[in-house]
A and B are shown apart, each in its own frame.
Chain A
Amino acid sequence: MKDYEVIIGLEVHAELSTNTKIYCNCSTSFGADPNTHCCPICTGMPGTLPVLNEKVVEYAVKAGLATNCEISRFSKQDRKNYFYPDLPKAYQISQYDLPLCLGGHLDINVNGNKKTIGITRIHIEEDAGKLIHDAYTGDTLVDMNRCAVPLIEIVSEPDIRNADEAVAYMQTLKSILEYLEVCDCKMQEGSLRCDVNLSVRPVGQKEFGTRTETKNLNSFRAIHNLIEFETKRQIEVLENGGVIHQETIRWDDAKGIGYAMRSKEDAQDYRYFPEPDLAPIVLSDEYINDMKNSLPEMPHLKKERYIKEFGLPEYDAEILTASKYTANFFEKTNAICNNPKAVSNWIMGDFAKMLNEKELEINESKVTEENLACLISLIDKGTISSKIAKQIFEEMFETGENAKDIVEKKGLVQISDEGAIKEIVQRVVEANPQSVADYKAGKDRAIGFMVGQIMKETKGKANPQIVNKLLLEIINK
């Protein structure tokens, strides 16, 4: 078998978190009753006049600046014509030859290696409605609430070479959009989704192979699995002497299989023309500079600050700043308990593990910044041992209860009273003469056994430093 190179370009659609739709004052909020966020403009009634939402321009320009794009001083909107029940006007207002942002790039990190992915363009457009299949009647039901919700489409250069790079690119983009607060990036609600264009070619061949397109992937896992599947499929077709057709693949995530939907020859003919109802967008240098100055601290700069300001290792800083929510959680917690490394260890360790298991984001957890700070302070003050702290944290995570309350309720305060500990140590030493003899014969492990017995007697609450000190004192007496 020949060696093949995989060529991938992504088209990412991000729903902008504006209050209203792109051309009318209807609400964009998710999950409303069908067809209750609609008006004559967004349902395409004849004779209506769309007016562009100023926030849409602002958010798209911010996304462009944050991905190193050139912002167009002159831009216009166009009609993209196609016939489908989710599109009441039978055209989508989009941008064709003069998009708002052009020619940017993103740096991604794939398993420790840096790579730059080019961004061809970012343009603004409107979303389509939602089609619901009615299993009872067999008809299709049209909900137009999502019609004309503002989107930006971010088109990458064909610089991506495998599934890991594609996922890293999406994660980086998601993080940036979250930091900018221009998209809530809830992939399960479809506010961030991705079309994958993929082709393969034998290594050394100059021309690209024929590509297929898979639309609307809305999880990192789906993107990863589709790319692995489609790469393998295309190579197999070519190896068996077949040809790849330019077509749309529908990805069945549950089954892990892609199906060819239709040839694109026809569908490609969108008959774009300039939108006569909307005025051109002309942006001044002053406007663009204002936008530039209003950008929040971006993840790569935040990372450098964490290393300098908090003395954190680069690895910690990278993970903490990968998501806005994690970074905010870290900063808020540390502002209360002032122990950056401890906060970082908790967020990257037990906390992250539990969040992963429950598939939650840090801001969706019951654990608040105040609670984690309180737990860390209890350890720092010696009120509880770090072993007990893990146990308390599990309960905080399950119930959202305050660390202090759990400690009091369960009587988990660390025993640091030497008198009380000494008594137990004495008892354990007397009950284990063999271990004492072993220790004296040079077997250090015997100490560990006795410490374990003491901790067991105190249910893990004895201060380990004091236990060690007293145990050695008593044995060596």
Chain B
Amino acid sequence: MSVSKEDVKHIANLSKLNLTDEELDKYTTDLSNIVDFANELSNINVDGVKPTAHILDIKNVFRKDEVDASYDREEILKNAPSKDAGCISVPKVVE
């Protein structure tokens, strides 16, 4: 397997996800399959091909520095499960 259980635990930890043992097994297999599939790209000969920074042949897409109206606060906070004093409220972040 190209992805180990330890790898999956690490990624789950970075993503703040708690996985059960069954999930851990399942994702280890699934992620290994995905990585193996993507690794097939490594077999392609890329001699003489320039590194790709973007898949489209575009560059310098800019906008002018001009202020436009922002959204109403109610609209911005509409999806938040919990809000207080005009802010999204989240569980205490321990520094």
Contact = CB atoms under 8 A, between A and B. Distances in A.
Interface of A: 18-20, 25-27, 33-40, 43, 51-55, 57, 74, 76, 81, 83-85, 98, 131-134, 137-144, 250, 261, 266, 269, 271, 274, 276, 278-282
B89 A137 contact: yes
B54 A38 contact: no
A261 B54 contact: no
B20 interface: no
Contacts of A261: 95
A140 B70 contact: no
8 contacts: A19-B66, A37-B70, A43-B76, A139-B90, A141-B87, A141-B88, A141-B90, A142-B90
Given A51-B62, A141-B90, A143-B86, 4 more contacts: A20-B68, A35-B88, A138-B92, A140-B92
Given A54-B62, A85-B90, A282-B60, A98 B70 contact: no
Contacts of B90: 85, 139-142
Q: How would you classify the secondary structure of chain A's contact residues: helix, strand, loop or mixed?
A: loop
A139 B84 contact: yes
**9 closest Cβ contacts across the A-B interface?**
A25-B68, A141-B87, A54-B62, A55-B65, A142-B88, A279-B61, A282-B59, A34-B86, A76-B53
Q: How would you classify the secondary structure of chain B's contact residues: helix, strand, loop or mixed?
A: loop
Contacts of A54: 62-65
Contacts of B67: 19-20, 25-27
Nearest to B55: A276
A58 to B, nearest CB: 9
A143 B70 contact: no
Given A25-B63, A279-B58, A131 B70 contact: no
B87 A142 contact: yes
Contacts of A280: 53-54, 58-60
Interface of B: 10, 13-16, 53-56, 58-68, 70-71, 73, 76-77, 82, 84-93, 95
Given A34-B86, A141-B87, A131 B93 contact: yes
Contacts of A81: 14
Contacts of A137: 84, 89
For A26, A55, A76, A279, the residue with the greatest tally of chain B CB atoms inside 10 Å of its CB is: A279
Contacts of A278: 61
B73 A36 contact: yes
A138 to B, nearest CB: 6
For A35, A36, A143, the residue with the greatest tally of chain B CB atoms inside 10 Å of its CB is: A35
A35 B58 CA distance: 33
A278 B58 CA distance: 9
B89 A51 contact: no
Contacts of A132: 87
A38 B62 contact: no
Contacts of B16: 83
A52 B58 CA distance: 13
Given A19-B66, A20-B67, A134 B86 contact: no
B93 to A, nearest CB: 5
A372 B95 CA distance: 49
For A18, A142, A274, the residue with the greatest tally of chain B CB atoms inside 10 Å of its CB is: A142
A317 B88 CA distance: 51
